[in-house]
Amino acid sequence: MIISTFVCKRIWAMRGGVSHLQQQHYFSTQPASRLAGKVAVITGAASGIGKASAAEFIRHGAKVILADVHHELGKATADELGPAATFVGCDVSQEPHVAAAVDLAVAKHGHLDIMFNNAGVAGSLAMSITDLDLADFDRTMAINARSVVAGIKHAARVMVPRRAGCILCTASIAGVLGGITPLVYSVSKAAVLGAARSAAAELSKHGVRVNCISPHALPTPFGINAVKKMTAEEDVRRVKEMIEATGELEGTKCEVEDAVNAAVYLASDEAKYISGHNLVVDGGFTACKYLRFPPP
């Protein structure tokens, strides 16, 4: 039987005879603890979705290993987030680096509960396949797709013996629909979706969950730089407006917090029976395609 939070609040208030303001204060002051005692590794954690996820994981009680190729930025982020954060240099295109980040989590905290494969690059963003540089294609696939497979592999290595764990992967709506971004990025994110589904099928019998998060375009430094490359627009404020204007859901916009909230949910025990799923955070963008009738 599922009882909503609203109903619980009403029952609690009636039994205790407290005012609406008192119950509001009670629930607003309860500590966040959805990830209490959990240990996470987040790649690409020095900025953007990775940094925001690390901060929220820590707020919910987790210890986090911040793995990133940008050493100075990563160290500064770890200092900012406090003692629950530990930075490790990590070039995710190098499998030994990914393995070392996982091993650090186990050595420092005794186990690994959450592996968040989040690091990625936009690639050259060649607008036509006829202009595609296959060397750039290989580099982009190594960082966006191969690294996810490495992350799943080494997380599974330490999670399977414990018969528990959660592996998350940052994909994209570009992996769901063609034509949203240039080919290289789209292919790399479609590969992430395939890797997660395949791994979920194998690892379910070991109690390990694997899921993806596919956000809409976001005005993070990553997203802003990518749109600047694609449009030649240099005004950051204008670029942010362009990104936000691509949204489908009226009255709101996609923000980093939306992707982070999805990650917290999927990493928590609230999602204990969700695996092999791609949680699309796009305000319905990929749910429809309109018919464009010509004028009569």
Q: Any idea which residues carry the catalytic annotation?
A: 185
- Separation of alpha carbons 285 and 256, rounded Å: 16
- Dihedral pair phi/psi, residue 42, rounded to 5°: -125, 120
Measured CA to CA, the distance from residue 240 to residue 236 in angstroms comes to 6
Residue 34: closest CA among 60, 57, 56, 59 = 60
Q: CB under 8 Å to 183, separation ≥6 — which residues?
A: 126, 129, 132
> In angstroms, rounded to a whole number, what is the distance separating the alpha carbons of residues 7 and 29?
19
**DSSP-derived secondary structure letter, 286:** G
- CA 193 to CA 276: how far, in whole Å? 9
* Residue closest to 266 by CA, chosen among 169, 138, 190: 169
Where does the chain show beta strands of DSSP type E?
A: 39-43, 63-68, 85-89, 114-117, 165-170, 208-215, 278-281
